[in-house]
Amino acid sequence: MSLKQNLHNLKEKYRGTKMEQSFNALHTFLYMPNITTHSGAHVRDAADLKRVMNTVIMAMVPVLIFAMFNAGFQHYGQINGFPSGMSFFSTEFWNLDNFWVGFSKIVPMLAVSYGVGLGIEFIFATVKKHEVEEGYLVTGMLVPLIMPIDLPLWMLAVAVAFGVIIGKELFGGTGMNVLNPALTIRAFLFFNWAAWMSGDKVWVHGAVDGVKNAAGTDAISGETVLGTLAANKEVGYSVSDMFFGFIPGSVGETSTFLILVGAAILIASGIGSARIMISAVVGAAVMGLIFNNIVDAGVITESSKFYSLMAFPFWQHLMVGGIAFGIVYMATDPVSAAQTATGKIIYGFLIGFFSIMIRVFNPAYPEGVMMAVILMNVFAPTIDHYVVQANVKRRMKRLKVKTT
């Protein structure tokens, strides 16, 4: 008897029981659902929600693999010193020792994220007797990629439980949440355990005090580019390092190059909104240019705590911190983002604009994309409302002109 026939027999066995939804979730992970709509408008399409989510996950796989190498590279580099002349194809970076350090840290985070998140999803599906929703497939991958490498797993588990229950299931599950679930989880961690989400040591595995590296300086400082700028220090990373990702930061946010590869996959597949991505980049560039011009005009002096972040070239702002990752994988969330074409442009522009603004004016936590995306998630329905009303008024005006 074939595997498919065995699964069909099990499906019939569990039909009508409490385990029906859980089994269907596992069954449709392997096979296309055989459910057919019988009423209402519907469109024949080869894509379903699960396959859309799988495409987003595939767009994140290059970032995930790079993150594993970079975690080990930052760890050993802080202790032994960084090799000069690094390139994206450098053998010093693509070293299996680097990979195993990252693998040992990131895979447990993935296991906790999926284990806790999907466990809660299965419980809710069983109790409420509805199908297990696929939305957490992407969230489960996103969560570890936006966390510091050494975040305690119990904190991650608590935050995931909060994000899934309060940020998602409370609103009705996938498709009903107001805020991006992954950012809800990160915000919960930030406001409850701020010391684990900011600072100069949380971004590198094995951050300890009192250890010296080969140069005789503190071994694990691990300051991010933004943290260095916020402290008005000189940035020790080249533009190439920042673009390709040889810098400390949250697990998956460092490589702008591979994030752009993911963006290309999402746009080509029609899943990610190019309008949101491009307008967000424009918004960030505009805010960065405003700050650069303020510095050039002499309004802000070097004695100001905002000077370094304001003077930082606007185009380099797009390569550091979580802004690239946030724009590509967070801002484009089809549930919490704006839905209208014009609304997406406004929504994306404001995310980029506010990201740089918050980053500069909050030197204690020099990052802004999390707050900007969550803020615009709240205002996305309002943006769509006014866009629709403007369209209605414009059409009504044309109608009056034609009838007169």
**Could you read off the pLDDT of 333-371 as tens digits, one per residue?**
888 899 999 999 999 999 999 999 999 998 777 888 999
DSSP assignment, residue 235?
P
pLDDT value at 124 more than 90: no
Interhelix angle 49-80/256-268, nearest 10 degrees: 170
Residue 85 has pLDDT above 90, yes or no: no
Strand partners, 363: none
Mean pLDDT of the 99-111 span: 96
User: How many CB atoms are closer than 10 A to CB 107?
Assistant: 13
* pLDDT tens column, 132-164: 667 788 899 999 999 999 999 999 999 999 998
- Comparing 65 with 33, the larger pLDDT belongs to 65
Residues 5-46: tens digit of each pLDDT: 554 555 555 555 555 555 455 545 555 555 556 666 566 665
Q: What is the pLDDT of residue 244?
A: 94
Maximum Cα–Cα distance for the chain, whole Å?
Answer: 84
Residue 349 structure tokens:
């522009």
Residues in CB range of 202: below 8 A, 6 or more apart = 148, 149, 150, 151, 195, 196, 222
Taking residues 297-315, report their average pLDDT: 91
pLDDT value of position 322: 93
Q: Which two tokens stand for residue 378?
A: 């709240």
**What's the DSSP call for residue 329?**
I
For residue range 381-390, list pLDDT tens digits in order: 999 999 999 9
3-state DSSP assignment of residue 218: strand
Q: Is the pLDDT reported for residue 185 higher than 70?
A: yes
Q: DSSP states of 164-216 as a string?
A: HHTTTGGGTSTTT-SS-HHHHHHHHHHHH-HHHHSSSSTTSTT--SS-B-TTS
